[in-house]
Amino acid sequence: MHHPRHAAFTRATHSLRAVRRTSGRLLIAFAISVGCAFVCLARGSDGLSFCGQPTSAAQSGGPIRSQVDLQTVDVQVKDKKGTDAKGLTASDFTVREDGNPQKIAFFDTGNGPVSVAVLVDSSSSMVRKGHLGSAQEIAARFMRIARSGDQIWAMDFTEWTGPFEEVTARQLSNPGPVNVPAAGGQGSAVYDAIATAICHLRDSKDPRQAIIVITDGVDEHSRISLDQLIDLVRSQRAQLFLIGFPSRPEFRFFDHTAPKVTLVTGHDIDNPDVVFERLAKEAGAETFIPKSESGLQDALKAVSNLLEAEYTLAYYPQKTSRKLRRIEVKVDRRGARVLTSRFLVANSDSADTVHFVKGACVVSPKFHPYSYESHLTNGPGGTVYRDGFSDPNSGWPQHPDSHYAPGGYELSTIERTSADITQPQMTPGSGMSSSSTTIRGTYRDNVVASWGPSWWNFRVSASMKALFRRPPPVNSRVQFSHSVHPAAGLVFRMNEKGYYALLVSPASEFKKNELVSRPGDYKKKLAFEVVAMTFQVDSTTGRPSFVPSVIVPWIVVDGASAMDAQLTVDDVGDHITIFVNGRQVGSVHDRRFTEGCVGFTVLAPTSATFGNLLVEQTSLSAPDTSVAFAQEKPSPSDSGQAAATAPPVTVESNLVLVPVFVYDPARMAQAPKEELPCARADVTALFKIPSTEPYLPTDCDVTEVHGLTIKDFRLFQDGTEQRIVKMDSGDWWTLVRDNLGWHMQSSDAPGGIWDLSELSTIKRVPVLNREFQRLAYVPNSPKEGCHRISVQVDRPNLLVFARNEYCTGQTRLTL
Amino acid sequence: MSLQTAAFRTSGDESRVDVSVQFPWNDLYRKWDTSSWTLYARIAVMGIVRRTDGSIAARFSDLLYPSYWPTFDQGGTKFIAWEKGTSKLSGGIPRQLNGAYSSLSLGSSDSYFGNDTLALAFHDGAGTATFAPAGSVAPGAGDIKPDLASVETALDSSDPFWIPTRYKTQFDLPPGEYKLEVVLSDGWNLGRAEMPLTLAPYDRKELALSSVALCRRLRDADAAAKEAAVANFAPQYVPLVSNDAEFSLAADTTFEKDSQFFAYFEVYEPLLARNPATSVKVQMRILDADGGTVKAELAPVDAAPYEDSDTGMFRIAQTIPIRQLPKGAYRLEVRAQDSAGGITTWRAADFKVD
């Protein structure tokens, strides 16, 4: 059952990959993971709008320190028959630290209370394997087999962490409706989640603490490293139990010993096998790998048994400058042997490497930033990401085929040999002629690199200088598909489902599926193509691949060279617009991939250097951004309708907008003195100025809190924290004077405008201009029905008013 | 519930469709909760544009919480806290005051605004209300007593401030035949309207005409633009602007005889790019509802004053005289003609005179 390197250990990101070895490095050729460590490492930290880290806060606090310097050691004692030895007392044990005997200050025979935190990886990769249940549910299951005095906590996590909530006995007796957690974002932040749980447990008074983590183990989003996590675990009391979840077919391609695995984006993440192994060996974690989801209960029982069978010894260690201290425990009973996994512990100072947001157990974005975050700024439309690639530490992949280079970031397949390349099977009738010797051996290879936040509505542009080795011979009559023609370009909306690629190639014309280049045209003509690469796994073989789908077939553009071009993609809603050298050359609608990272690609035999990457968030007012339709409880007129002749009206929406008002109660006392006179003057002005002059109201509300950024907010849906993808602000209402009188206008969402009723007969109206914040998030699991929304602001003593409910857009409405 | 749409060319291959919905505000469900001092009302709209095969081509949805205070369902905490800040009382019961502080009557916390505003005060248990607006006379002990029925009445009287009656939005569509379905909900009742939507292709080579948008409201375009920029409402909304006036598409196309009635439309003349001297004229006429009989021929309009030099189009708005028309249903038809012999088909919009 202990098993750091189970052959079937799986990760399950959606990163399926064809694996090959290149120079000893594991390459996951076509992997797509979900997030942006590859996709979306964008859980924005300081003020990041995209993949916003909803748990970030303005202030960052210090690291965890043990409040009591009590060093605990959990041990099992087996007799010579291998069964648990019982009935031992403290006097039967001897504890030494670095060889020095220690006085046992606390002793427990396994009957004492334990504070147990149950962490469940709710990322979509886990959910796709079948709902294991929410952390609350699994914690409740554990509670049933645990002892009555234990204190059980539950926390779901994906790339962000959900609330850390205690499970009560009352919930056991009256569990209420099953609440399967929302399918999380894209990938997990396992290390950060464990650190968060450790942080929460520091307030527990129980000397015995345990953290049960149910995960598929691949960490794509954590701010802290595995080394930092190991140091943290070593320095704290909590014992770690890892329940790894069964593999997916693609993991047969994993090398189970390589420390890193490379995603299709070019990014390396810790090999989950190695993660489990290191946490077991270096941090004393107990690991369990059930063979199936049904084995979860057995694993929980095993954890419970372990906790029950353990003796807990604790002592006050003497201060030492050594970072690591070795603990030995012996028992004075013939034939008995002591088993402990925690023989190395660290001083609490070791936890200094992990910093948390002040007042919250959230890993600090300030102290643990993503490497691209220093390249983010705020622009008029939202977040702006710039990278000129002069800083080799800005986070882009560093591999022989994708690396920083003078003048930019270079991708190349040219240095590869055919032996390096895993040749996907050629499909019959692919049109590739054997005469195409110029690209034989490498023609199917490609290189992709992406990094940075995950973008929703955006414009990406970059310069490209490309070398297309041996372009197709003139009039070769070779039929090229997009996947075989040498090309280079941008990738965008790269997520766990796939990505779009804008490919550019030198060409003179395209007809009858032939892309023909003439040497004289290289500097004045190019062809571009837009392809959707959808990720899939063969259900039989488990082999992953990308399925290309041409959205825009090759189009030849005059007056531009593929060897030196400025490429731009404007991607708003499902509308993709292509620009070459600033000139719009095409547009298309496609809604396969709704958000994701940007990056670059080359198709062999090509090398290209990209520079001046600029990604700008555009307005929320995308053509297809629509808020979910809010519906109160079923109305009489609705419920009374059976099948009507009209078809049901549905709105499919994945963006929920939440207006939020934030006030400072400390300023309430000033309100009467300051707001009313201000409003009075304002309204007076309204009726004095002519209608040809704009009425620009004063912000009279002295209680409004200004200067909030996206990182100040946390948003929960049905108790699960959501990733805020955008924050906008504006007036809640304004006044309109027209030929018929005056009225007010209001808008909570940026797509439309509500006119309020005519107020022409009213001449004196107290209207306080109000500003509000508009948060946008994409529900993790757009389940049918209504959902509770709550918003928190990570600042003390504020009043927060926010939309508190939304209902999914699948509401049937028939009249 | 009334609905009108109008389609205008964009710089791309698509048309921008303006949608306007109107509904009677007084029929909308809302509830004042005097215990929390909150107006519970949620007005939601959603629209679906279907292609002829039933697939969805575009959609929109929106909702509004027309709270008196922006408190949503969390009660009047802000207001209560606000009042607490003035009175330093805890646990007081919010009451309504009038300017003279007479009991059982309605009024305002601020004499300047008369009955147009509402405010609350707290009874401190000793009969003293400590919130005394400027210019008012402090109340005597025991003056203030709760009168929830009166409070309800007062709150109801403020309805028009906060209840919507129109909604407008825009979306882009490629040429084709569609059907627009719009549903309005107040959480209790539903209203539904639908209409066909035909967007003709435009080859950018010939003279063309947009939809004819019927309007009854206009305002100064420059002032409106500045106000809109500050408010940050629907930042990509494209207003209908002709000669510095911004027109609003009317959802209800029934016009009273003495009411103002405008038609807004755009003329697209590709010849202007090659020959700026090209002239365009517009013909307008009113027919009966079935288009059989011409009821009025309006004077031709020279489009030159309406040329938008930025876009190369003519953005024209005209007052439509209906005073002389008897009550009934009519059709307004518009077509454009250029000096090169180009001529558009008649574009029509139906309306009623009441």
- Digit-coded pLDDT (tens) for B133-167: 333 333 333 333 334 454 455 455 555 667 889 99
Q: Is B238 on the interface with A (CB under 8 A)?
A: no
Contact of B60 with A751, CB cutoff 8 Å: yes
How far does B44 lie from chain A, in Å, by closest CA?
A: 6
With a CB-CB cutoff of 8 Å, which residues 333-352 of chain B face chain A? none
Cα–Cα distance, A682 to B138 (Å, whole number): 26
- For residue A484, the model assigns a pLDDT of 56
Q: Is B301 on the interface with A (CB under 8 A)?
A: no
- For residue B143, the model assigns a pLDDT of 36
How far does B85 lie from chain A, in Å, by closest CA?
A: 4
A443, A444, A431, A441: which is closest to A476 by C-alpha? Answer: A431
Q: Do A766 and B117 touch (CB under 8 A)?
A: yes
**Tokens 């992709």 map to which residue?**
A448
Question: Between B37 and A268, whose confidence is greater?
Answer: A268
Cα–Cα distance, B8 to A762 (Å, whole number): 36
- For residue B258, the model assigns a pLDDT of 85
pLDDT along chain A (815 residues), means of 10: 25 22 26 31 24 28 48 80 81 85 80 84 58 70 77 82 75 48 56 91 80 84 89 82 65 59 78 83 80 77 80 78 76 79 61 74 84 81 86 89 91 56 27 24 64 85 86 42 71 88 85 70 84 77 72 85 92 84 84 86 87 80 27 25 30 66 74 70 76 82 83 88 82 83 80 81 56 81 74 83 66 34
What is the tens place of the pLDDT at every residue in B313-347? Answer: 999 999 999 988 999 999 999 999 999 999 999 99
- For residue B109, the model assigns a pLDDT of 27
Q: Do B160 and A587 touch (CB under 8 A)?
A: no
Question: Between A159 and B98, whose confidence is greater?
Answer: A159
- For residue A327, the model assigns a pLDDT of 80
Q: What ipTM, to 2 d.p.?
A: 0.82
Cα–Cα distance, A756 to B65 (Å, whole number): 12
- For residue A344, the model assigns a pLDDT of 64
Cα–Cα distance, A677 to A663 (Å, whole number): 19
Cα–Cα distance, B64 to A532 (Å, whole number): 37
In one-letter notation, the amino acid at residue A537 is: V
Count of beta carbons in the 10 Å neighbourhood of residue A210? 27
Q: Do A751 and B60 touch (CB under 8 A)?
A: yes
Cα torsion at B291, B296, B300, B305 (round to 10°)?
-90
* SS3 label, residue B162: helix
A271, A257, A152, A181: which is closest to A220 by C-alpha? Answer: A271
With a CB-CB cutoff of 8 Å, which residues 348-407 of chain A face chain B? none
A536 CB-contact burial (10 Å; exposed 0-12 / middle 13-18 / buried 19+)? middle
Closest residue of A to B117, CA-based? A766
* SS3 label, residue A613: strand
Among B134, B163, B183, whose Cβ lies nearest the Cβ of A757? B163
Q: Is A787 on the interface with B (CB under 8 A)?
A: no
- For residue A771, the model assigns a pLDDT of 76
Residue of A674, A682, A755 to mutate, interface with B, max B Cβ within 10 Å: A755
Contact of A748 with A659, CB cutoff 8 Å: yes
Q: Do B185 and A631 touch (CB under 8 A)?
A: yes
Contact of A138 with A300, CB cutoff 8 Å: yes
Q: Kind and range of the H or E element at B192?
A: strand B190-199
* SS3 label, residue A797: coil
Q: Do B220 and A692 touch (CB under 8 A)?
A: yes
Q: Do B61 and A694 touch (CB under 8 A)?
A: no
- For residue B92, the model assigns a pLDDT of 29
Phi, then psi, of A214 in degrees rounded to 5 = -110, 115
Cα–Cα distance, B56 to B52 (Å, whole number): 9
**Tokens 């679906």 map to which residue?**
B48
Q: Is A753 on the interface with B (CB under 8 A)?
A: yes
Q: Do B44 and A628 touch (CB under 8 A)?
A: no
Q: Do A587 and B168 touch (CB under 8 A)?
A: no
Q: Is A325 on the interface with B (CB under 8 A)?
A: no
What is the tens place of the pLDDT at every residue in B192-236? Answer: 899 999 998 888 888 999 999 999 999 999 999 988 888 877 777
Cα–Cα distance, A520 to A508 (Å, whole number): 9
Cα–Cα distance, A428 to B191 (Å, whole number): 56
Among B48, B65, B218, whose Cβ lies nearest the Cβ of A739? B218
Cα–Cα distance, B98 to B143 (Å, whole number): 11
